[in-house]
Protein backbone atom coordinates (compact mmCIF):
# COMPACT_ATOMS: atom_id res chain seq x y z
CA UNK A 1 0.00 0.00 0.00
CA UNK A 2 0.99 3.62 -0.57
CA UNK A 3 1.07 6.13 2.27
CA UNK A 4 0.01 9.79 2.08
CA UNK A 5 3.02 11.88 3.06
CA UNK A 6 1.79 15.39 2.41
CA UNK A 7 -1.32 17.36 1.32
CA UNK A 8 -0.94 20.93 0.07
CA UNK A 9 -3.35 23.56 -1.21
CA UNK A 10 -2.98 24.53 -4.85
CA UNK A 11 -1.90 28.14 -5.32
CA UNK A 12 -4.20 28.92 -8.25
CA UNK A 13 -7.25 27.07 -6.92
CA UNK A 14 -7.84 27.06 -3.18
CA UNK A 15 -10.57 24.39 -3.55
CA UNK A 16 -8.14 21.79 -4.85
CA UNK A 17 -5.32 20.00 -3.08
CA UNK A 18 -2.17 18.19 -4.20
CA UNK A 19 -1.64 14.81 -2.59
CA UNK A 20 1.88 13.38 -2.23
CA UNK A 21 2.50 9.70 -1.47
CA UNK A 22 5.26 7.23 -0.74
CA UNK A 23 5.04 4.06 -2.84
CA UNK A 24 8.18 2.67 -1.18
CA UNK A 25 10.70 4.80 -3.00
CA UNK A 26 10.23 8.11 -1.23
CA UNK A 27 7.73 10.95 -1.46
CA UNK A 28 6.32 11.88 -4.86
CA UNK A 29 3.31 13.76 -6.25
CA UNK A 30 0.37 11.37 -6.67
CA UNK A 31 -2.78 13.28 -7.65
CA UNK A 32 -4.90 16.39 -7.09
CA UNK A 33 -8.31 16.35 -5.46
CA UNK A 34 -11.30 18.58 -4.80
CA UNK A 35 -11.87 19.81 -1.24
CA UNK A 36 -15.26 18.08 -1.02
CA UNK A 37 -13.76 14.72 -1.97
CA UNK A 38 -10.86 15.30 0.44
CA UNK A 39 -13.34 15.84 3.27
CA UNK A 40 -15.59 12.95 2.20
CA UNK A 41 -12.74 10.41 2.38
CA UNK A 42 -11.05 12.19 5.32
CA UNK A 43 -7.67 12.06 3.61
CA UNK A 44 -4.72 13.02 5.83
CA UNK A 45 -1.02 12.52 6.26
CA UNK A 46 -0.10 8.97 7.22
CA UNK A 47 -3.22 7.36 5.71
CA UNK A 48 -2.70 4.23 3.65
CA UNK A 49 -4.54 3.83 0.32
CA UNK A 50 -5.05 0.57 -1.52
CA UNK A 51 -5.70 0.41 -5.29
CA UNK A 52 -9.49 0.19 -4.89
CA UNK A 53 -9.64 3.25 -2.63
CA UNK A 54 -7.40 5.17 -5.00
CA UNK A 55 -9.64 4.39 -8.00
CA UNK A 56 -12.79 5.29 -6.05
CA UNK A 57 -11.33 8.62 -4.95
CA UNK A 58 -10.29 9.43 -8.52
CA UNK A 59 -13.76 8.53 -9.81
CA UNK A 60 -15.44 10.78 -7.26
CA UNK A 61 -13.02 13.58 -8.03
CA UNK A 62 -13.79 13.30 -11.76
CA UNK A 63 -17.48 13.58 -10.91
CA UNK A 64 -16.73 16.71 -8.89
CA UNK A 65 -14.72 18.22 -11.74
CA UNK A 66 -17.53 17.58 -14.19
CA UNK A 67 -20.09 18.90 -11.74
CA UNK A 68 -18.16 22.16 -11.30
CA UNK A 69 -17.86 22.55 -15.07
CA UNK A 70 -21.59 22.02 -15.48
CA UNK A 71 -22.49 24.50 -12.73
CA UNK A 72 -20.27 27.16 -14.28
CA UNK A 73 -21.86 26.45 -17.66
CA UNK A 74 -25.32 26.81 -16.12
CA UNK A 75 -24.34 30.07 -14.46
CA UNK A 76 -24.44 31.85 -17.83
CA UNK A 77 -28.04 30.84 -18.62
CA UNK A 78 -30.49 27.95 -18.33
CA UNK A 79 -29.50 24.80 -20.20
CA UNK A 80 -31.27 21.66 -21.34
CA UNK A 81 -30.09 18.23 -20.25
CA UNK A 82 -28.73 17.57 -23.75
CA UNK A 83 -26.77 20.82 -23.73
CA UNK A 84 -25.10 19.83 -20.45
CA UNK A 85 -24.40 16.34 -21.77
CA UNK A 86 -22.87 17.66 -25.01
CA UNK A 87 -20.80 20.26 -23.14
CA UNK A 88 -19.28 17.67 -20.81
CA UNK A 89 -18.56 15.34 -23.73
CA UNK A 90 -16.60 18.17 -25.34
CA UNK A 91 -14.67 18.46 -22.09
CA UNK A 92 -13.78 14.76 -22.54
CA UNK A 93 -15.74 13.52 -19.56
CA UNK A 94 -16.72 9.84 -19.57
CA UNK A 95 -20.36 8.81 -20.02
CA UNK A 96 -20.80 7.28 -16.53
CA UNK A 97 -19.50 10.47 -14.93
CA UNK A 98 -21.79 12.64 -17.06
CA UNK A 99 -24.79 10.53 -16.05
CA UNK A 100 -23.90 10.95 -12.37
CA UNK A 101 -23.58 14.71 -12.78
CA UNK A 102 -26.87 15.07 -14.68
CA UNK A 103 -28.64 12.96 -12.06
CA UNK A 104 -27.27 15.20 -9.31
CA UNK A 105 -28.12 18.44 -11.14
CA UNK A 106 -31.64 17.19 -11.85
CA UNK A 107 -32.16 16.25 -8.20
CA UNK A 108 -30.98 19.72 -7.21
CA UNK A 109 -33.40 21.24 -9.77
CA UNK A 110 -30.57 22.90 -11.69
CA UNK A 111 -31.78 21.02 -14.77
CA UNK A 112 -35.45 20.91 -15.76
CA UNK A 113 -36.16 20.55 -19.46
CA UNK A 114 -39.78 21.66 -19.17
CA UNK A 115 -38.89 24.88 -17.33
CA UNK A 116 -36.01 25.45 -19.73
CA UNK A 117 -38.28 25.03 -22.77
CA UNK A 118 -40.92 27.41 -21.39
CA UNK A 119 -38.28 30.05 -20.67
CA UNK A 120 -36.75 29.53 -24.13
CA UNK A 121 -40.08 30.01 -25.91
CA UNK A 122 -40.85 33.16 -23.93
CA UNK A 123 -37.41 34.61 -24.65
CA UNK A 124 -37.67 33.92 -28.38
CA UNK A 125 -41.18 35.39 -28.55
CA UNK A 126 -40.12 38.53 -26.68
CA UNK A 127 -36.76 39.16 -28.35
CA UNK A 128 -36.96 37.73 -31.90
CA UNK A 129 -39.38 37.49 -34.82
CA UNK A 130 -39.12 33.69 -35.06
CA UNK A 131 -42.28 31.69 -35.66
CA UNK A 132 -43.31 28.55 -33.75
CA UNK A 133 -41.89 26.08 -36.28
CA UNK A 134 -38.38 27.51 -36.01
CA UNK A 135 -38.58 27.69 -32.21
CA UNK A 136 -39.80 24.08 -32.12
CA UNK A 137 -36.92 22.94 -34.35
CA UNK A 138 -34.38 24.71 -32.13
CA UNK A 139 -35.80 23.09 -29.01
CA UNK A 140 -35.68 19.67 -30.67
CA UNK A 141 -31.98 20.25 -31.36
CA UNK A 142 -31.57 20.96 -27.65
CA UNK A 143 -33.06 17.57 -26.83
CA UNK A 144 -36.56 18.59 -25.73
CA UNK A 145 -39.12 15.78 -26.05
CA UNK A 146 -42.07 16.04 -28.44
CA UNK A 147 -44.61 15.86 -25.61
CA UNK A 148 -42.93 18.79 -23.88
CA UNK A 149 -42.74 20.76 -27.12
CA UNK A 150 -46.50 20.56 -27.65
CA UNK A 151 -47.06 21.85 -24.15
CA UNK A 152 -44.57 24.72 -24.08
CA UNK A 153 -45.54 26.10 -27.51
CA UNK A 154 -48.83 27.09 -25.91
CA UNK A 155 -46.75 30.00 -24.61
CA UNK A 156 -46.92 31.33 -28.19
CA UNK A 157 -50.70 31.49 -28.92
CA UNK A 158 -52.19 32.03 -32.37
CA UNK A 159 -53.18 35.66 -31.77
CA UNK A 160 -49.62 36.54 -30.79
CA UNK A 161 -48.25 34.72 -33.84
CA UNK A 162 -50.55 36.77 -36.09
CA UNK A 163 -49.52 39.99 -34.35
CA UNK A 164 -45.80 39.31 -34.84
CA UNK A 165 -46.23 38.11 -38.43
CA UNK A 166 -48.29 41.20 -39.25
CA UNK A 167 -45.55 43.50 -37.92
CA UNK A 168 -43.01 41.70 -40.09
CA UNK A 169 -45.33 42.13 -43.09
CA UNK A 170 -45.80 45.85 -42.45
CA UNK A 171 -42.04 46.45 -42.35
CA UNK A 172 -41.56 44.30 -45.44
CA UNK A 173 -44.05 46.24 -47.55
CA UNK A 174 -42.45 49.51 -46.47
CA UNK A 175 -38.99 48.39 -47.57
CA UNK A 176 -39.90 46.73 -50.88
CA UNK A 177 -41.77 49.49 -52.72
CA UNK A 178 -39.84 48.92 -55.97
CA UNK A 179 -41.35 45.46 -56.50
CA UNK A 180 -44.66 44.58 -58.12
CA UNK A 181 -47.53 43.77 -55.76
CA UNK A 182 -47.44 40.13 -56.86
CA UNK A 183 -43.71 39.72 -56.21
CA UNK A 184 -43.99 41.58 -52.91
CA UNK A 185 -46.60 39.11 -51.74
CA UNK A 186 -44.60 36.07 -52.89
CA UNK A 187 -41.43 37.28 -51.23
CA UNK A 188 -43.23 38.11 -48.00
CA UNK A 189 -44.82 34.65 -47.87
CA UNK A 190 -41.36 33.09 -48.30
CA UNK A 191 -39.91 35.31 -45.55
CA UNK A 192 -42.64 34.36 -43.09
CA UNK A 193 -42.33 30.69 -43.99
CA UNK A 194 -38.57 30.71 -43.34
CA UNK A 195 -39.18 32.40 -40.01
CA UNK A 196 -41.42 29.51 -38.99
CA UNK A 197 -45.00 30.71 -39.37
CA UNK A 198 -47.83 28.46 -40.55
CA UNK A 199 -49.75 28.91 -43.82
CA UNK A 200 -52.78 29.98 -41.79
CA UNK A 201 -50.89 32.75 -40.00
CA UNK A 202 -49.12 33.83 -43.19
CA UNK A 203 -52.41 34.17 -45.08
CA UNK A 204 -53.93 36.31 -42.33
CA UNK A 205 -50.84 38.52 -41.96
CA UNK A 206 -50.51 39.09 -45.72
CA UNK A 207 -54.20 39.86 -46.15
CA UNK A 208 -54.22 42.30 -43.24
CA UNK A 209 -51.19 44.24 -44.46
CA UNK A 210 -51.28 43.87 -48.23
CA UNK A 211 -51.51 47.34 -49.73
CA UNK A 212 -53.08 47.70 -53.13
CA UNK A 213 -50.77 50.04 -54.94
CA UNK A 214 -52.17 53.04 -56.68
CA UNK A 215 -51.69 53.01 -60.44
CA UNK A 216 -48.88 55.55 -60.27
CA UNK A 217 -47.08 53.55 -57.55
CA UNK A 218 -47.23 50.38 -59.63
CA UNK A 219 -46.03 52.39 -62.60
CA UNK A 220 -43.09 53.68 -60.56
CA UNK A 221 -42.23 50.10 -59.64
CA UNK A 222 -42.31 48.86 -63.24
CA UNK A 223 -40.19 51.81 -64.34
CA UNK A 224 -37.59 50.89 -61.75
CA UNK A 225 -37.59 47.20 -62.69
CA UNK A 226 -37.88 48.05 -66.39
CA UNK A 227 -34.72 50.15 -66.38
CA UNK A 228 -32.83 47.34 -64.69
CA UNK A 229 -34.10 44.89 -67.32
CA UNK A 230 -33.24 47.31 -70.13
CA UNK A 231 -29.62 47.56 -69.01
CA UNK A 232 -29.33 43.78 -69.35
CA UNK A 233 -31.23 43.55 -72.66
CA UNK A 234 -30.10 46.69 -74.45
CA UNK A 235 -28.02 44.60 -76.88
CA UNK A 236 -31.26 43.35 -78.40
CA UNK A 237 -33.60 45.43 -80.57
CA UNK A 238 -36.92 45.39 -82.31
CA UNK A 239 -39.30 42.48 -81.76
CA UNK A 240 -36.73 40.38 -79.88
CA UNK A 241 -36.07 43.24 -77.45
CA UNK A 242 -39.79 43.72 -76.74
CA UNK A 243 -40.38 40.01 -76.17
CA UNK A 244 -37.46 39.65 -73.80
CA UNK A 245 -38.53 42.77 -71.88
CA UNK A 246 -42.06 41.40 -71.60
CA UNK A 247 -40.76 38.09 -70.29
CA UNK A 248 -38.46 39.76 -67.78
CA UNK A 249 -41.15 42.09 -66.42
CA UNK A 250 -43.82 39.39 -66.37
CA UNK A 251 -41.53 37.28 -64.21
CA UNK A 252 -41.30 40.31 -61.90
CA UNK A 253 -45.05 40.05 -61.34
CA UNK A 254 -46.35 42.88 -63.52
CA UNK A 255 -49.51 42.51 -65.59
CA UNK A 256 -49.41 42.37 -69.40
CA UNK A 257 -51.39 45.61 -69.66
CA UNK A 258 -48.93 47.45 -67.40
CA UNK A 259 -45.96 46.03 -69.31
CA UNK A 260 -47.41 47.20 -72.62
CA UNK A 261 -48.02 50.63 -71.12
CA UNK A 262 -44.44 50.85 -69.85
CA UNK A 263 -42.95 49.76 -73.20
CA UNK A 264 -45.10 52.25 -75.07
CA UNK A 265 -44.03 54.99 -72.66
CA UNK A 266 -40.39 54.08 -73.15
CA UNK A 267 -40.67 54.05 -76.94
CA UNK A 268 -42.33 57.48 -76.91
CA UNK A 269 -39.61 58.99 -74.73
Q: 230: domain CATH number?
A: 1.10.10
Burial 103-116 (b: 16+ CB within 10 A, else e): eebeeeebbebeeb
- Residue 8 forms part of a structural domain: yes
Asked whether the predicted pLDDT for residue 111 surpasses 90, the reply is yes
In-domain check, residue 79: no
Query: For position 5, which CATH number holds?
Result: 2.40.50.100
Which residue has better confidence, 119 or 176? Answer: 119
Question: Which pLDDT score is estimated for 214?
Answer: 54
In a domain, 178, yes or no: yes
Listed residue (42, 40, 57, 47) closest to 21, CA to CA: 47
- Name the domain count of the chain: 4
Q: Say which CATH number the domain at 142 has.
A: 1.10.10.10
Choosing from 33, 49, 65, the residue where a domain stops is: 49
SS3 assignment, position 72: helix
Domain that includes residue 140, residue range:
113-155
**Domain-located, residue 60:** no
What mean pLDDT comes out for the span 153-170?
Answer: 93
What is the C-alpha to C-alpha distance for residues 75 and 221, in angstroms, rounded to an integer? 53
Instruction: Specify which of 32-41, 208-217, 240-249 reaches the highest per-range mean pLDDT.
Output: 32-41
More confident residue, 79 or 245: 79
Q: Binning pLDDT at 50, 70 and 90, where does residue 212 land? A: very low
Amino acid sequence: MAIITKITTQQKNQDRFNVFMDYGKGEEYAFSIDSDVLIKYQLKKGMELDDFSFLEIQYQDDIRKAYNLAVNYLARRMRSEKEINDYLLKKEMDEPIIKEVIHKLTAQKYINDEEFAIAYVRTQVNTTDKGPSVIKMELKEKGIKESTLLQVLEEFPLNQQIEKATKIAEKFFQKNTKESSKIQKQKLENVLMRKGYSFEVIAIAVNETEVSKEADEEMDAIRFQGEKAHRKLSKFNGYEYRQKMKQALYRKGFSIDLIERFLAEREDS
